Amino acid sequence: VQNSGGNLTGQFGFKYGYGFLHEDINNSGDGGIYAELIQNRAFQYSRSFSVSTAHYFPVNGASLSIQELEEPLSKALPASMRVAVGNGTGKTGFKNEGYWGMDVRQQKYTGSFWVKGAYEGTFVASLESNLTSEVFGSVDVPSKSVADEWTEHTFDLTPEKDAPNSNNTFSVTFDPAGVSGGALDFNLISLFPPTYKGRKNGLRIDIAEALADMNPHVLRFPGGNMLEGLTNDTYWDWKNSIGPLKERPGFQGVWGYQQTNGLGLMEYLEWSEDMGLERVLAVWAGLALNGDTTPEEDLQPFIDDALNEIEFVCGPADSPWGKRRAELGHPEPFTLNYVEIGNEDWLAGYPGGWDAYRNYRFPLFYEAIKAAYPDIQIISSSATTDPENGIPMDYPEDALGDYHPYREPNALVDEFDRFDNDIGHIIGEMAATHPNGGTKWQGQLMPYPWWIGAVGEAVSLIGYERNSDRIPGTFYAPVLKNENRFQWSITLLQFAADPKMTTKAVTWYCWSLFAHHPITHTLPTLSNSSYGPTYWGAGVDETRNNAMVWKGAVYNTTNSSYVPVSVHFQGVTPGTKANLTVLTNPGGDPFAYNDPFTGVKIVNTTTTILEADFGGAFKFVMPQLSVAVLDTDVG
């Protein structure tokens, strides 16, 4: 018997969970899945990132400068951009280059900007080519602007035609003759294309759809390192991420750029709601990336803050923070079954942070959350293989660890049985990141998921899923990358301003295949072969008429002969049908990847209906480096 089987997987919505961690890295949030098109929309800044007019350009002789007015737009947004008119005639103003361009199509864009300064006339909001200055669409926005007050201007803009490429800008211009005092002050300049499921302040459709196509079940947020912040006074404070955009000060990102906080807690909750995802909410636990640890005597406010955050997510609409959520448009509590205490505590602050985590931070957060929310499953941000060998307390039986394997494919395969005899964990972040032994790209991190890495990941995914009584789910990380900012590791999806660049990596195909064939219970398996080069696990999905599912991968780096596979599900009679899907890389290069720039895609998917033979077995062959699922639910 190769796995005990019969276990209720059940923890994430009663299906084994495939999903991803999200944090803003690689411009995956701002300039990524968050659909805002204007870069530097509110002149936000922080200790690490200074305020500037970056990404704006003057139009027709205007001059642009940052002002910190006595009466700013809001306390959260103290800086704004002054647009002083030039000497020329004709409309003047500014344009914004977006996040490395803007996709302009014949669709409705929704925009707004705030202005202060006396102006009689109209503003013109336009989308135009940065190369030819061709205007694809523009709209007149009558001025409401007055001398002493900030006024918001909103507009819809539908271009008359699609732009041929994404090298486009958005401009706001106005007539200098109508301006008193020679200048106007602008802030919170925003432009959204249509968004995923039509959400205001929502997600970019092509990226969200590519994620949703994977059929994910779980989302862990917000980070990752982003949650921790660089220092103890610059962590990701959820309160700064909710409410009207003008009340959000932005966030000193930990990945080299200032962030808007436009993709905030409410947006994460709506994202998970719109994709039907179970949530793992990570709460800040008094540790920053520089190793700063909050002393025990100062911790209570942060515990209270975590409790308030949880109440915001899942408290009733008449609770203090549930009321706030209701005011923001969601009276119904969101479901919240999993809370993680911090992120990678064993790593970021070791040894100070780790000791503090084990000795007081984890226990204090755990006790407080359990007392208020006994049904919430608490997750520790460490694994049994991390320093000090374990999650930080000898209790609690119901606590899960969090394991983050970023590995070479061989190492992922070696870990197939990693969880056969261990306590429960989530695999809160994982990816094959390095080539085996540095045989290509000199052992550096790979630029894109590559085929042998994807198959190595598939082996470890099977290893996790067959232990799913204790390993409820696995999260890919980092999940998204804007091609204009590559940070440390490969991603599941790549994109740029032009949606044609949005590319599902080879890994996406394996995760998607497994996620599309969920199970509610594992099944015990017997075999006359041992694991390697073929690895497998089996399960049943009670929600699909007890469909029997076999998942397998052949990880053979040296022998190209086909592996004969015979799968016999107990109780399956001759003639029963099953759907076999096999993923291969016909080109054979283990380093091949899906290339966003050439459009080359290397994964071949074949789907066949098989019939159980007279002995009740499904027989097929799998080539070297391949991944397969056999599922008796043939629809």
Interface with ligand AHR (CB under 6 A): 23, 25, 223-225, 343-344, 404, 429, 477-478
The total of other beta-carbon atoms located within 10 Å of residue 149's CB is 12
Given a contact cutoff of 8 angstroms between Cβ atoms, the answer to whether 494 and 505 are in contact is: yes
Cα separation, 451 vs 585, in Å, equals 7
The total of other beta-carbon atoms located within 10 Å of residue 270's CB is 20
Cα separation, 343 vs 220, in Å, equals 11
Cα separation, 284 vs 309, in Å, equals 10
State the minimum distance, in angstroms, from the CB of residue 381 to ligand AHR: 9
How big is the chain, counted in residues?
635
342/533 with CB nearer ligand AHR: 342
37/430 with CB nearer ligand AHR: 430
Contacts of 107 (CB under 8 A, 6+ apart): 158, 159, 193, 194
State the minimum distance, in angstroms, from the CB of residue 454 to ligand AHR: 17
Q: Please name every residue paired with 174 in a beta bridge, in sequence order, or none if there are none.
A: 92, 123
The β-bridge relationship of strands 278-283 and 338-341 is parallel
Cα separation, 499 vs 491, in Å, equals 17
Residue 356's φ and ψ, nearest 5 degrees, are -65, -35
220/358 with CB nearer ligand AHR: 220
State the minimum distance, in angstroms, from the CB of residue 344 to ligand AHR: 5
The β-bridge relationship of strands 338-341 and 577-584 is unpaired
Report residue 455 CA to chain centroid gap.
22
State the minimum distance, in angstroms, from the CB of residue 513 to ligand AHR: 23
State the minimum distance, in angstroms, from the CB of residue 494 to ligand AHR: 15
173/343 with CB nearer ligand AHR: 343
Residue nearest to ligand AHR (CB): 224
186/476 with CB nearer ligand AHR: 476
State the minimum distance, in angstroms, from the CB of residue 254 to ligand AHR: 8
22/116 with CB nearer ligand AHR: 22
| Alpha-helical runs (H) found in 214-357 | 225-228, 265-274, 300-314, 320-327, 345-348, 352-356
The tokens of 323 are what?
């009321």
State the minimum distance, in angstroms, from the CB of residue 135 to ligand AHR: 41
Contacts of 46 (CB under 8 A, 6+ apart): 234, 250, 251, 252, 258
The tokens of 514 are what?
């497994």
Look at the block and give the residue holding tokens 């959260």: 76
Look at the block and give the residue holding tokens 């984890």: 362
23/469 with CB nearer ligand AHR: 23
Cα separation, 252 vs 258, in Å, equals 5
State the minimum distance, in angstroms, from the CB of residue 386 to ligand AHR: 12
The tokens of 345 are what?
């505590």
State the minimum distance, in angstroms, from the CB of residue 226 to ligand AHR: 6
Cα separation, 504 vs 492, in Å, equals 6
The β-bridge relationship of strands 168-174 and 617-622 is unpaired
343/512 with CB nearer ligand AHR: 343
